[in-house]
Structure 1
Amino acid sequence: MPHPRKKAAGHWFGLLTAAVLCTSANAHELEIHGSNTVGATLAPMLVSGYLEQHGTGPVSRRPTGTENEQILMTGSDKGRISVLVAAHGSSTGFRTLASGKAQVWASSRPVKSTEASQVREKADLTSLESEHVIAIDGLAVLVHPGNPINAMSIETLAKVFSGQIRNWAELGGPDQSIQLYARDDRSGTWDTFKSLVLGKTYTLDGAAKRYESNDQLSDDVSRDPGGIGFSGLASVRNSKLLAISEGDAPALKPDQLTVASEDYPLSRRLFMYTMGNQTPRFAKGLIEFALAEEGQNLVAESGFVSQNPIAVKPEFDDSVPKSFRRLTGNYQRLTVNFRFAEGRTRLDNKAQRDLLRVKHYLEQQNLSGDDLLLIGFADAQSHELRAQMISELRALSVRKALSEANVANAAYTGYGHYMPVGGKGNQRNGRVEVWIKSH
């Protein structure tokens, strides 16, 4: 019996091969424009996986003649189907989506309020129907493999990239000038770095070399003993990764758990945006494929972090209290955190889908809600009791949402404002971790 999600995806595909090929005035049945981080490897892999599942022949790729663009093609009962993936930066994708040229906008940052307002009459880009988190990425801070520096705070990183710190000797390294490598202004990777690291206080040093490609930036850093740069996690290649800290939280390297849970301070979501109920069925089918388990397996294969939950036993450092070690002693942690819309108690769009992923995981493992422990956390508050109350209420809200998804009886507790993963005031501190009994 076919999997219901596969059957649904096949239904979309079958309808479109007849309808789109006859009616489309465009050269391609689907155009995906935007982020180089998403479009260089991940989007083509997802498109290929979708076409391979539902086409009648092999999927071929060819360049368009323009850098960072490619066309993916396959056959169908009605003729040839082609998909264009153009990866020139997140901001370019919004413009093509808004103009109607693209059906999918690939972005390595959330939609900006100014962008959402431009198309509000057509679609709400912040809604569950339009905003699709397809992968989690960690913004990798890269240095030469021989660099002795292993960790850096976000504040120090900002001073380095703004030119306030110019020699590695100032950081305990060799007496060598620092060479800066950064993504270009059209890049969502740059937008993320600017937002999470430079903020409103710092400006990128004008001497920084700028790149449209993550891979090329990483390769150049790996060859420069004085180099430091940033890229998507999938583009570490031969460079060395630094552990990053924020505020009083411990320094973390990006890995499966720290990135998937978004505890890593430079973790970020990768998106595909569509125009809500105006989205063509062919594009809807691709989105459903990308969000499903099979699509998320391709996410992992591409070098990014899948949203399919797995259970891991975290390695605790000395900062973890004994009470927390006792609380979680018989549990493993799932690689998912439930987070909330900013300033609200309702779960955000990713969390809405993660509810179903946790349910699916339990079904696969032949487990139930009785095997879960939900631990809520809060950002620092004016009073410890208030933080405790907020953390418990968050855990309770996730428990209720799971119950509505037919995952009942999950245990829950709050851990107040202890064990922050970011600086004071960081929204990431307000989270609900998911732990599962060890069997």
Structure 2
Amino acid sequence: MPRLLRTLAVLILAAQTLPAWSQSYDMEIHGSNTIGAALGPMLIEGFLEQRTGGTTSSRAGSEENERVLSARGNGTAIDVRVAAHGSSTGFRALADGRADIWASSRPAKSSEIDAMADTADLNSIDSEHVIAIDGLAILVHNSNPLERISIDDLGKVFAGQISNWSALGGPDRPINLYARDDKSGTWDTFKSLVLGRSYTLARSAFRYESNDQLSDDVARDPGAIGFTGLASVRNARLLAVSDGDAPALKPNQLTVASEDYPLARRLFLYTRGNNNPALVNEFIEFAQSPAGQDLVAQSGFISQNPIAMEPDYDAAVPATFRVLTENYRRLSVNFRFSEGRSRLDNKAQRDLKRIVDYLERENRGADDVLLIGFADQQSNELRAQMISELRALSVSRALREAGAPVRAYTGYGHYMPVGSAGGHSGEQRNGRVEVWVRKH
């Protein structure tokens, strides 16, 4: 066979044996269905139209829960593939080079961080990008009279230990369980926050790849209870959720944005740190920008753009706290810490600029801001007060370095917890700094 024909034969054979994902795209995002179903495509569309000046077309991919978005304009043609098969699938795609971005509705696991250590530090601010806040919504049928449920009772329900609504004050009716599939970051979040090490999901639970389909089926079943991302509540009804001695909260803009809601979670994009193509870095910056965060809000998730809101006090809020904040409105931002009591986590570091930009946009000065620190339960009030004040001081210093020399800060000790006390969870959730802005 002539050399040219042999070469052509080899090329044809190679093309036939290439895996389906080898088709060339300018950017690929793999992972979470929570992100990939609507939020991811919306962000990509906004980014592509901003970058090219043209309109974006969308077509179904080669498999279910996949889309390809394309834009042409300014002499540029860009094609982006979104494969939404679950958070764990996104990690594998990023690790083996099939994906440029891993979309995840849970933080990276220690095993995943270790596996990628030679390529990127998934814990670093260069690799871990929070693009939205979501509340894990606990859904029931509209005819169900139950209003609230504790995390512990929720665990017992999904483990099958509580199997009739009458045990929770509802009607004498069997409980039917609706859960996400085990590739889902939504499932990982629920398993971590609700089931923990105490409970195992009952075998009778119906499992779903799609948040929307799960929600629709709950809305049709009077005996149902299920969980989805907040953007997929649709025609079902939300329950308020309590953690420990903290008050029960329903997910809304303030409780989720501040992460006070006990089943609030962050939605992430993970990249290879400093080893990204320029297009990937541009998209990440767009997703974090005010314009990108406006699209987050339009998609049904909670934007990270700060908003000042009137507090919705319940009977448990002490009179001293009401007096402290009576001339202020609360910003929809809480500062939380990654290590110990002083190091701000990756989201908090980006929130510093968001607050500086908010104050400038609203023509507010540093004197209009009040920072209030909180501590997890401590052995005595003095220790709790000291820790809470140190947290507020830490944020005050960080804001000053970012361009907003905030002067007013205080601590409120270990009062007004938003979660169960003790351990890593208590330290992370109760140990926070709230941001309040003076009323005009």
Shorter-chain TM-score tier: over 0.9
Query: What CA distance in whole angstroms lies between the structure 2 residues aligned with 1:26 and 1:270?
Result: 27
Contact 2:341 2:391 in 1 (8 A): no
Letter in 2 for 1:71: V
The DSSP-based 3-state class of the residue aligned with 1:135 is strand
State the TM-score, normalized to the length of structure 2. Answer: 0.93
State the shift of 1:125 in Å.
Answer: 0.5
The DSSP-based 3-state class of the residue aligned with 1:296 is helix
The DSSP-based 3-state class of the residue aligned with 1:420 is coil
Query: What CA distance in whole angstroms lies between the structure 1 residues aligned with 2:365 and 2:84?
Result: 42
The aligned residue for residue 86 of structure 2 is: 89
Query: What CA distance in whole angstroms lies between the structure 2 residues aligned with 1:438 and 1:76?
Result: 45
The aligned residue for residue 409 of structure 2 is: 412
Query: What CA distance in whole angstroms lies between the structure 1 residues aligned with 2:391 and 2:201?
Result: 38
State the shift of 1:343 in Å.
Answer: 2.9
Aligned-pair identity in percent equals 66
- From 139, 143, 147, the counterpart of 2:144: 147
Letter in 1 for 2:200: T
Contact 1:375 1:433 in 2 (8 A): yes
State the shift of 1:65 in Å.
Answer: 3.4
* C-alpha distance after superposition, 1:312-357 (max 9, x if no partner): 0111011000000000000000000000004352100000000000
The aligned residue for residue 322 of structure 1 is: 319
Contact 1:152 1:244 in 2 (8 A): yes
Query: What CA distance in whole angstroms lies between the structure 2 residues aligned with 1:435 and 1:344?
Result: 21
Structure 1 segment 238-277 matched on structure 2, within 5 A: 238-277=235-274
The DSSP-based 3-state class of the residue aligned with 1:139 is strand
Query: What CA distance in whole angstroms lies between the structure 1 residues aligned with 2:217 and 2:133?
Result: 25
The aligned residue for residue 435 of structure 1 is: 436
Poorly superposed stretches of 4+, deviation over 4 Å: none
Is it true that 1:280 corresponds to 2:281 in the alignment? no
The aligned residue for residue 126 of structure 2 is: 129
Is it true that 1:353 corresponds to 2:350 in the alignment? yes
Structure 1 segment 306-317 matched on structure 2, within 5 A: 306-317=303-314
Contact 2:164 2:173 in 1 (8 A): yes
Query: What CA distance in whole angstroms lies between the structure 2 residues aligned with 1:342 and 1:206?
Result: 37
* C-alpha distance after superposition, 1:202-261 (max 9, x if no partner): 000000000000000000000000000000000000000000000000000000000000
Query: What CA distance in whole angstroms lies between the structure 2 residues aligned with 1:119 and 1:324?
Result: 45
Bigger Rg over Cα: 2
Letter in 2 for 1:261: S
**Unmatched tracts of structure 2, length 5 or more:** 1-21
* C-alpha distance after superposition, 1:32-63 (max 9, x if no partner): 00000011000000000000111142100000
RMSD: 0.9
Count of aligned residue pairs for this structure pair? 415
Query: What CA distance in whole angstroms lies between the structure 1 residues aligned with 2:417 and 2:334?
Result: 13
Aligned pair in 2 of structure 1 residues 344, 117: CA closer, same or farther (>3 Å)? Answer: farther
The aligned residue for residue 206 of structure 1 is: 203
Query: What CA distance in whole angstroms lies between the structure 2 residues aligned with 1:323 and 1:79?
Result: 59
Contact 1:355 1:405 in 2 (8 A): yes
Query: What CA distance in whole angstroms lies between the structure 1 residues aligned with 2:274 and 2:353?
Result: 22
Query: What CA distance in whole angstroms lies between the structure 2 residues aligned with 1:119 and 1:182?
Result: 30
Letter in 2 for 1:432: V
Indicate the larger mover: 29-38 or 78-87: 78-87
The aligned residue for residue 158 of structure 1 is: 155
Contact 1:371 1:410 in 2 (8 A): no
Query: What CA distance in whole angstroms lies between the structure 2 residues aligned with 1:283 and 1:26?
Result: 18
The aligned residue for residue 335 of structure 2 is: 338
Query: What CA distance in whole angstroms lies between the structure 2 residues aligned with 1:187 and 1:353?
Result: 27
Is it true that 1:171 corresponds to 2:172 in the alignment? no
The aligned residue for residue 229 of structure 2 is: 232
